Amino acid sequence: MLDDKYKDRSLVIHIVLAVIIILFIGRLAQLQLYEDYTGIAEDNAFYRKPIYAPRGLIYDRNGKLLVYNQPTYDLMVTMKELRDLSKAGTPIDTLELCGLLGMTYQQFCDRMAYIKDRRKNYGYSQLTPQRFMTQLSPEDYAMLQEHLRKFPGFTIQNRTLRNYNYPCGAHVLGSIGEVSKRQIERDSYYRLGDYAGSDGLELTYEKELRGENGEEILLRDSRGRIQGRYKDGEQDRMPIAGMDITTTLDVDLQMIAEELLQGKIGSIVAIEPATGEILAMASNPTWNPSLLVGRLRSEYYPILQNDSTKPFLNRATGGLYSPGSTFKTLQALVCLEQGGITPSTKFSCSGPNTKPIKCTHHHGSPVSLEEAIQESCNPFFWLTYKTTLERDGYGEGNEKFKANYRRWREDILSFGLGFKWTDSDVFGLKDGAIYRAETYDKIYGKRGWKSLTIRSNSIGQGEVLVTPIQLANAAAVIANNGYYVTPHLNKSDSLLDNRHEANVSRKHYDVVQEGMWRVCEYGTARHYKLPNLAVCGKTGTTDNSHGKPHSIFFGYAPRENPKIAIAVVIENAGFGSQFACPIAMLCIEQYLYREITQEALFNRMKNLVLNSAVKTY
Report the amino acid identity of residue 275: T
Task: Rank 78-82, 100-104, 127-131, 412-416 by mean pLDDT and report only the highest.
Answer: 412-416
Give me the mean pLDDT over the 269-286 stretch: 97
Backbone torsions φ then ψ of 323, nearest 5 degrees: -75, -15
State the Cα–Cα distance between residues 157 and 499, nearest whole angstrom. 48
36, pLDDT greater than 50: no
Q: What is the pLDDT of residue 594?
A: 96
Instruction: Locate the domains of the chain by residue range.
Output: 51-242, 251-607
Query: Using one digit for the tens of pLDDT, what is the confidence trace for 471-500?
Result: 999 999 999 999 999 999 999 877 778 899
Q: What is the pLDDT of residue 607?
A: 96
> Percent of the chain beyond pLDDT 70?
94
Q: What is the pLDDT of residue 222?
A: 62
Q: How confident is the model at residue 44 (pLDDT cuts 50, 70, 90)?
A: low
Give Cα 288 to chain centroid, integer Å: 16
Q: What is the pLDDT of residue 304?
A: 95
51-242 to CATH, choices 1.10.3720.10, 3.90.1310.10, 3.40.1390.20, 3.40.50.720: 3.90.1310.10
Query: Using one digit for the tens of pLDDT, what is the confidence trace for 51-87?
Result: 889 999 999 999 999 999 999 999 999 888 888 888 8
Give me the mean pLDDT over the 438-463 stretch: 94
Q: What is the pLDDT of residue 105?
A: 93
Are the C-beta atoms of residues 363 and 327 closer than 8 Å to each other? Answer: no
Q: Which of 118-132, 552-566, 593-607 has the lowest mean pLDDT?
A: 118-132
For 230, the 3-state DSSP assignment is helix
Q: What is the pLDDT of residue 4?
A: 55
State the alpha helices, DSSP H only, in 196-263: 200-204, 206-210, 251-260
221, pLDDT greater than 90: no
Q: How confident is the model at residue 223 (pLDDT cuts 50, 70, 90)?
A: low
Q: What is the pLDDT of residue 585?
A: 97
Q: How confident is the model at residue 29 (pLDDT cuts 50, 70, 90)?
A: low
Are the C-beta atoms of residues 585 and 535 closer than 8 Å to each other? Answer: yes
pTM metric for this prediction: 0.88
Q: What is the pLDDT of residue 13?
A: 74
Q: What is the pLDDT of residue 42?
A: 55
45, pLDDT greater than 80: no
The architecture (CATH level 2) of 251-607 comes to 3-Layer(aba) Sandwich (3.40)
Which contacts (CB < 8 Å, 24+ apart) does range 395-404 have?
Answer: 397/446, 397/447, 398/446, 398/447, 398/449, 398/450, 401/450, 401/451, 402/437, 404/338
